[in-house]
Amino acid sequence: YNSMVPTMSIARNLFIGREPTRFSILGVGILDQKKMAEESIRAIANVDLHLRSPDALVGELSGGQRQGVAIARAMHFKSKVMILDEPTNHLSVKETNKVIGFVRGLKEQGVTGVFISHNMHHVFDCCDRIVAMARGEVVLDKRVADTSIDEVHSVL
């Protein structure tokens, strides 16, 4: 969620760099705020995130909610790959479970997720495959179903 601008609204963060415009005055596009709000509500609902308003500032959201907005943005713009670097770090148990649910939802939407984490329980909870690296070398590359947390820890 570090890609979010805390002083901007959820809708503005969802569309940052891709803002829809209604028309242009002297080459400057006028934002289509209504379209941004409507599409933000849909995008957020698609990841089962419940927020009070697309106008709320991202800085007022919890860490898990920010992760949800980032995932909603990736899914709304049909990203093929999403890289999540320690997405459950510094989150409460409830928020962690929500983020893991978001990650599982990526697969259902046909989005490839790269989940980088030191927490093997979270990795085993939501990933299909594990690639473990130590000192810049791949030391394990297996399907989750074919390995265990103990095996992963033993090679690290």
CATH number at residue 74: 3.40.50.300
Number of domains observed in the structure of the chain? 1
Q: Which residue has the tokens 């419940």?
A: 50
Q: Convert the pLDDT of each residue in 22-73 to its tens digit.
A: 888 888 889 999 999 999 999 998 888 888 899 999 999 988 888 889 888 9
Q: Is residue 140 part of a domain?
A: no
Neighbours of 34 (CB within 10 A): 10
Q: Is residue 155 part of a domain?
A: no
Alpha carbon separation from 69 to 5, 44, 58, 79, 83 (Å, rounded): 11, 7, 9, 14, 14
- pLDDT of 63 reads 84
Give residues with Cβ within 8 angstroms of 67, minimum separation 6. Answer: 1, 84, 87, 91, 95, 98, 99, 102
Q: Is residue 56 part of a domain?
A: yes
Q: Convert the pLDDT of each residue in 10-26 to its tens digit.
A: 999 999 989 888 888 88
Domain enclosing residue 33, as ranges: 10-117
Instruction: Give the global pTM.
Output: 0.74
